[in-house]
Structures are given as C-alpha cells and as structure tokens.
Amino acid sequence: MSPIAASPTAADSPAPSSATTISAPDLRRVLTFLGIALVVSTAASVPFATGLLPGSAVGLVVPLAQLSPLLAGLIVRRRDETVGRSLGLTVPSWSALAIASLAAIVAFVMVPLARALVGIGAGAPLLADTVSVQALLLAVPPVLIMQALFAIGEEAGWRGWLHRELAPLGFWPMSLLIGVAWALWHAPIVLALGLGPREAVTYLGTIVAVAPLLSALRDISGTAWAAVLGHALFTSVRVALEQNVLGPVGPSTAWLLDLCSWLLWIVAAWMVLRVGGALTSAGRAGRIENLPPQSVTEHGPAGTVPGA
C-alpha cells in the first residue's frame, strides 16, 4: 500500500529504511479468511442452483452472505488489538475521510457518464424511456443508504481486514488480489442465478476492475468507511446511470463498453491515489496505523515506512 497522504505520489515516497522491516502477509490467516468467506457464499448459492429458492429471493439471501467477510475477519483477526483497528473501522482523520468521500462521489458519477459517452460515440442508442434527473435524485439516496448498510459486512472484510493484511505487497498487487478474491466470492451466486457467459464476465470483470478504486479510497483515508461509501455508490449511483442512459446494444458494443469501463475504473483509482494523496495527510499515518502488528517494526523515527 502506498503512503499516499505523506506526499503527492507514491513515487515521491521516502526510500526504504533499515529502521523498518515489512514482513509478508500471514498466509495461514489469509487462506482461512478466504476459505470462510467462500464457503458461506457457496452455501448461500446452493438453494438457487438446486431450485429450492426462486431467483426473486436473492434480495433476502445476499445481504446475509454479505456478512461473511466480516465474520471471517472477526475469526482470523489478532486478539492483541481492537476489533475496529483489525477491520479498518477506526477513523484516523475525519478530514481525510471527507476528501475520500468526495473523491468517491466524483469517480462513481464520472466513470458511468464517460462510459455513456463512449457508447454514444460507438453508435449506441439512448434509452427511449429515460428517467428524469429529478426522479433519479429522489430514487437514488434511499438505495444508497440501504446499500451502504449492506456493504459494511463486505468492506470490513475485504478493504478492512484483508486490505490491511496484504498491505506489505504494495498497493497494486494488494488491490488486484483483493479484486480477484472478491470476484471469486461473487462467482457462486452469479453462476447459480444462471447468468450467461458474457453477462458473468461483465459482472465479475467489473468487480475486479473497481476493486483498486475502493482500495484507493481506503488507502488515502486510512479507514474502510470510505470503501463502504464507494461500494454503496457502485451499487446505486453507477447502476442508476448505466441503466438509464443507453439503450440495448449489440455484443461488440457491449464488449467495447466493458473494456472501456474497466480501464476507466483503473484510471480512476490511479487518480484518487495521486490527487487524493496530495490533498490528505492521513494516508501515510493511516498506512502505518492499518498495517498488521507483525508487519511494522520501528526502531527509528516514528512513521518510517518503505515506499511501495
């Protein structure tokens, strides 16, 4: 994870110091965490795969499955620190969280709008029955709040405990590995609901692509609450914009939109790290605060950490 808030860019970070040692993640804890989360998500998908539950019941089952990363984090966390610190639920700086929240809002509005512009440029039609901006402004906030509540269970695990545990790997390896694990966690329910190959690739690919942005929000703020907001925006504002601008498109245009969207999410993550890191001073402190205890050994000046 990059010490973003200490300086405008990760490249400007101080060189590694012999006063600080960063150990590898605890593989046993990581595998246990992933195993618990995947077992729960797979178990939740079985009733749909076997026909015991109709697809319409997914709205009741999925919120329960969303608690599995939180459960896994609680089980594998170290007992010599508080639950809040283990799961990234402390707030080192409210101003940094405010900056990260603003960055999240901008990113999750601009990327879907940019996707729509790409689609229009590629000849995609506008949706015939468009919803008014006023209607969207009224409909989105309640969904946003509901999705934020549901996202706490996921983000306390993925961008809370796991983000902190994998931080020694550096930001991009850490965030992409979490993205792959997050997609694998979604895969059982996606397959059980019978999504077609293209739809499944779109869904799971988007999850991997957006993961670095959520990690970047967590990184610059030092808290998983920024990722909770980003997750809620992802499943409310993004969905509202993507479903209410463009009309049906052919397979080639759909793939173009997918690829462009994935690239835009990665670019958005990079921009949040650069710009958000330049605006907040919590990223560096949050990086030290949110490393697992065995990962940081300080014998020199406080806050000495290697660049990632």
The predicted structure's pLDDT at residue 284: 52
Span 14-36, mean pLDDT?
72
Element (H, E) at 297: strand 297-298
Q: Is the pLDDT confidence value at 8 over 50?
A: no
Total length of the chain: 308
Q: Which two tokens stand for residue 222?
A: 């030092």
Least confident residue range of 62-71, 91-100, 133-142, 181-190 = 133-142
Span 3-13, mean pLDDT?
38
Task: Tell me the CA distances in angstroms from 165 to 76, 149, 245, 293, one per residue in order.
Answer: 11, 24, 39, 9
d(CA 242, CA 196): 19
What are 190-221's pLDDT values in tens digits? 999 989 999 999 999 999 999 999 999 999 99
Q: Is the pLDDT confidence value at 302 over 60?
A: no
The predicted structure's pLDDT at residue 136: 85
Q: Is the pLDDT confidence value at 287 over 80?
A: no
Q: Is the pLDDT confidence value at 299 over 60?
A: no
**What percent of the chain has pLDDT above 70?**
84
SS3 91: coil
What are 122-173's pLDDT values in tens digits? 999 998 777 777 888 899 999 999 999 999 999 999 999 999 999 999 999 9
What are 230-250's pLDDT values in tens digits? 999 999 999 999 999 999 999
User: Please, what is the end-to-end C-alpha distance for the chain in angstroms?
Assistant: 6
Angle between helices 27-49 and 58-65 (to 10 degrees): 170
Least confident residue range of 7-21, 45-59, 62-76, 251-265 = 7-21
The predicted structure's pLDDT at residue 281: 60
Q: Which band of pLDDT confidence, cut at 50, 70 and 90, is reported for residue 17?
A: very low
The predicted structure's pLDDT at residue 15: 36
Q: Which band of pLDDT confidence, cut at 50, 70 and 90, is reported for residue 291?
A: low
Using a cut of 0.75, tell me whether the model's pTM lies above it: yes
The predicted structure's pLDDT at residue 292: 62
**What percent of the chain has pLDDT above 90?**
73
The predicted structure's pLDDT at residue 274: 92
What are 258-269's pLDDT values in tens digits? 999 999 999 999
The predicted structure's pLDDT at residue 131: 78
Alpha helices in the chain (DSSP H): 27-49, 58-65, 68-76, 83-86, 94-121, 133-155, 163-166, 171-192, 197-221, 225-234, 237-243, 251-271, 277-279, 282-289
d(CA 17, CA 300): 9
Span 247-259, mean pLDDT?
94
What are 94-127's pLDDT values in tens digits? 999 999 999 999 999 999 999 999 999 999 999 8
